[in-house]
Structure 1
Amino acid sequence: MAPPTEGRRRSDAARSSQTRERILRAAVDSLIEDGYAATSIGAIQARAGVSRGALLHQYPNKADLLVDAVRNLSDQQIREVRTSSDPEAAEDWMTVLWRSFATPLFGAVLELWVAARTDADLRAALLRHQRDLHGSIRDSITRNLDGPPPENFDTVFEMTLTYFRGLALTTILSTKHRNQLLDSWRTSMRAAFPPH
């Protein structure tokens, strides 16, 4: 049998990439709309409109599939934040960081975090993803600072990440005090950790 031509290999790779994108999109939509418990391999397969074999060829287990789905959309979100930032708007990095929590994607991530408490495979996969995402967000922010980050930047960054996770969780129930709490946090962090 003759080896596949270069054109055929590119065509196969493109089809595989399109299939993967459909699966990832279906997985995130299912997490957001139906929750982790209802996001089965079968449910994702049906949403994506692919065969079970095609899905399992791309992702042999649910944990890697769901974490990769959130990673994929998080990467898109980071790219959007970078390209949509208006240099003239002079947004501070806390505003940019909050934007990454104030999306439906946070609901998908929250579903995975809760499920990871009792699922060791999912927890391991999610930890790998979180380390990569954390580093990407930090690098994106520090690249846009005026000058090098202050000595205390990592402390402020970690505290802000933790605070924003909690705030995003509470605003699932009510957004009544969200803006006031965001403004208060910015003021407190600037007072406690002034730039050097």
Structure 2
Amino acid sequence: MAVTEGRRRSDAARSEQTRERIMRAAVDCVIEDGYAAATLGAIQARAAVSRGALLHQYPNKAHLLVDAVRHLSDQQIEELADLPAAPDDDWLTVLWRSFTTPLFGAVLELWVAARTDPELRAALLTHQRELHTNIRAIVLAHFGGEPPEDFDTVFEMTLTYYRGLALTDILSAHRHDQLLAGWHAIANSTRPPVKPVS
């Protein structure tokens, strides 16, 4: 019985390692080569696994790519949650950090592909809801205290603005600092700031 249980644990560990390797390969493919080039064959080759091993973990491309992005997003959320508060660091700055990694480009490509791929869109919607909830919770927990009444409106507007600014940066970051500072001024003028817990 002990031998059987040990074998099961060993098999589970190997399966998890394979899954992790496939997910990382999928993210690298999307970031470096784009969504269209991230075929199951390309991901399989990059992960150095058999076709059977890949299909055992992920029977279709949509769920593989969304799961890979979710995996990387979880790491990003952990990094944001671990950031120490600083006197000159407000929630707008913390939130902007989530748009400054190569992951945003990968997610952007998935959004565009989801326009004509119902299966990808359904999977991505679930992921985006989870990510949205987690980021909002981190913003509030990072600075503590009761948020102002219009916090959710400003938060949603900020997400929309940051997506647009990050998208613009792909082509040109000419006025990046000016536009970012401008939004900070506008957002902070509409309501009192959420201050860090002392």
Aligned to 2:41: 42
Aligned partners of 1:9, 1:87: CA distance in 2, in Å? 44
* Matching residue's letter, 1:94: L
TM-score by length of 2: 0.93
Q: How many residues were matched structurally?
A: 194
Partner residue, 1:86: 84
Distance in 1 between residues matched to 2:47 and 2:6, nearest whole Å: 26
Per-residue deviation, 1:89:
4.9
Match of 2:56 in 1: 57
Q: Distance in 2 between matches of 1:18 and 1:113?
A: 28
**What is the distance in 1 between the residues matched to 2:152 and 2:160?**
12
Paired position in structure 2 for 1:119: 117
Whether 1:184 and 2:182 are equivalent positions in the alignment is: yes
Which runs of 5 or more structure 1 residues have no equivalent in the other structure?
A: none
Deviation digits for residues 74-100 of structure 1, max 9, x if unmatched?
1101101222x1234551111111111
Aligned partner of 1:28 in structure 2 is: 27
Structural mapping, 1:1-196, within 5 Å: 5-83=4-82, 85-195=83-193
**One-letter amino acid matched to 1:105:** L
Q: Distance in 2 between matches of 1:11 and 1:98?
A: 41
Over 4 Å off, 4+ runs:
none
2:140 and 2:147 in contact (8 A); partners too: yes
Alpha-carbon distance between aligned partners in 2 of 1:62 and 1:23, rounded to the nearest angstrom: 11
Q: How far is the alpha carbon of 1:195 from its aligned partner?
A: 4.7
Q: Is the 8 A contact 2:85 2:143 kept in 1?
A: no
Once the 2 structures are TM-superposed, how far is the Cα of residue 69 of structure 1 from its aligned partner? 0.5
| Root-mean-square deviation (Å) | 1.6
Q: 1:104 to 1:5 in 2, by over 3 A?
A: same
Unaligned 5+ runs, structure 2: none
Return the offset for 1:62.
0.6
Cα shift at 1:176: 1.6
Normalising by structure 1, we get a TM-score of 0.94
Residues of 1 paired with 2:144 and 2:121: CA distance? 36
Q: What is the Cα deviation at residue 148 of structure 1?
A: 1.4
- CA displacement 1:55-77 (0-9 Å, x = unmatched): 11111111000011111101101
- Aligned-partner Cα distance in 1 for 2:118–2:137: 29
Q: Distance in 1 between matches of 2:184 and 2:164?
A: 15
Q: Distance in 2 between matches of 1:104 and 1:26?
A: 14
